[in-house]
Amino acid sequence: MQSDENDSISNESLNADQDDDKNISAHTSSGSINDSSIHINETKRATGYQAKKPNWWKRMAGRRGTSGQRKAISRMTAKGFVIPTKLGKYQHEVNVAQVFENPPNGEAITSESILVPLIVGENGARRSNVECIPKDKHVALEIGFGLGDNILTNATKFPHHHYIGAEIHQPGVGIALMRMEKAIEAETFWLEQTWVDENDLTQIQERENDPSMKKPYDNLRIYPGDGIKLLGYLPDNSLDSIYLTFPDPWPKEEHHYWRVIQEETVCEIGRVLKPGGCFYLATDAIAFDEWTQGIFQIVLEKNRLQFGNERWLGVDPCPDRSLWLPAISKYEEKGIEEGRHIVCRCWKYTGEEM
C-alpha cells in the first residue's frame, strides 16, 4: 500500500469473489502445501490471504476517486489500456499473449476476448490448449502500483517489455491513467518522476526522437483490482518478474491475515513465474520485511519436504533497483525524510516448468 498524496493506496481487494477463489483453487490444488507442522511461531501462524477488509478500512481507503479520475478510467478503458476485473468464469485463464497482441486502438478489452477455458490434460493438470504466453517477451506484473510512478517508469525505460500494473485503490488507478492519457496525447512519456539514475532520463529524452519507437505505453496494461486475485487467472510460467512495492504492512498482529504475503500467495507467485523468474519486494516496514522472510522460509522448508528441493533461491544482494524500481515515489521520499529505511529483496524461482 503506497500513500503518496493519498494516505491509503492499497493493492488488496475489498471484496472476496467466490469465483475468483475457485479459479485459484483450479490452478493450485495439485501443488498446494498442506503440512502445518512448520510455524513462524505460535502467535504468528501464517494463514490464507483474506481479501475482504473491515468497514473501517474501506472508509479510510476510499474507493471512488474524483470525477476527473473516474472519467480518465472510463476513457482509457474504452481505448484498450485496462484489463477488466470481472473475470468470474470458473476454470478459465487469461490469455496474456492476447492482452498484448495488438496496440490499444480504441476498443475496450473484454473478458470474453482474453479468457480461455482450462482443460484437464493426461497428467490431470488443468491448462489451456491455447498459447497464452507472449513469445520472446519479458512480461512483468507490479502488484499495488500506488500512483503509477514505478510502473510508468518501467514501461518507459523498457519499451520492448510487457507490463501489467494492478492496483485496487481507484484514485491511484485514475491518477496513473491520467498521466498515461496526457502523455499519449502529447506523443511523449510521463517524465515528472524522481529517477534513481538520472542517466535514464537523458537516454529516454534522446530516444523520443527515434521514429522507429513504439507509441507511448503500448506495452502497458492496467488492472484496476486486486493483483493477488489476478494471479489466479494467469497461466503457469507466464511471467518473468513480479514486483510488490511498498504494500500495506498491516502491522497489528491481529491483522496478519490481511498481509499480501502468505504461504498460498507465495505458491501462486511461484506457479505463474517462469523458471528463473524473480519476485521483488520493496518495503520500509521492518515488520513486513521480517514477516515476508519468515513466510518464504516456511515455503522453502515445505518445498524441500514435498519436492526434494526448495524451488526458491534468495538473491543477495538484490539486483540493482534501476532494473526494476527505477523511480522514487512521493511515498518513498516521505519515508526517507521521516527516517524510514527502504529494504529491497529478491527471490528467484528455480522450480521446474509446470
324/258: higher pLDDT: 324
> Mean pLDDT lowest for which of 21-30, 204-213, 272-281, 316-325?
21-30
Distance CA 348, CA 270 (A): 9
> Mean pLDDT lowest for which of 60-64, 235-239, 312-316?
60-64
Question: Which residue matches cell numbers 507442522?
Answer: 37
| 248 assigned to active site | yes
- Domain range 18-349, its CATH number among 3.30.1330.10, 3.30.70.20, 3.40.190.10, 3.40.50.150: 3.40.50.150
**Phi and psi for 303 in degrees, rounded to 5?**
-60, -40
Percent of the chain past pLDDT 70, that is, above it, reads 79
The pLDDT of residue 255 is 81
100/354: higher pLDDT: 100
Residue 26 has pLDDT above 80, yes or no: no
The pLDDT of residue 251 is 87
Which residues lie below 8 Å from residue 317, measured CB to CB, with a gap of 6+?
Answer: none
As given in the structure block, the three cell numbers for residue 335 are: 519515508
Distance CA 172, CA 168 (A): 8
Residue 353 has pLDDT above 70, yes or no: no
206-234, pLDDT tens digit by residue? 887 777 677 799 999 999 999 999 999 99
Handedness of CA 259, 47, 239, 19 (dihedral sign): negative
The pLDDT of residue 17 is 44
Long-range contacts for 207-215 (Cβ within 8 Å, ≥24 apart)? 213/159, 214/103, 214/159, 215/103, 215/184, 215/187
The pLDDT of residue 233 is 95
Band of the pLDDT at 90, cuts 50, 70, 90?
confident
Cβ of 209: how many Cβ atoms within 10 Å? 7
Distance CA 200, CA 275 (A): 29
**Phi and psi for 146 in degrees, rounded to 5?**
65, -120
Based on its alpha-carbon atoms, the radius of gyration of the chain, rounded to whole angstroms, reads: 19
224/17: higher pLDDT: 224
Distance CA 153, CA 256 (A): 31
Mean of the per-residue pLDDT values for the chain?
Answer: 84
* Complete DSSP assignment for 43-59: S-----------HHHHH
Residue 2 has pLDDT above 60, yes or no: no
Check residue 337 and report its DSSP letter.
Answer: H
Annotated domain spans of the chain: 18-349
pTM of the model: 0.84
Residue 89 has pLDDT above 80, yes or no: no
The pLDDT of residue 16 is 37
264-283, pLDDT tens digit by residue? 999 999 999 999 999 999 99
Of 4, 20, 248, 289, which one is the catalytic site residue? 248
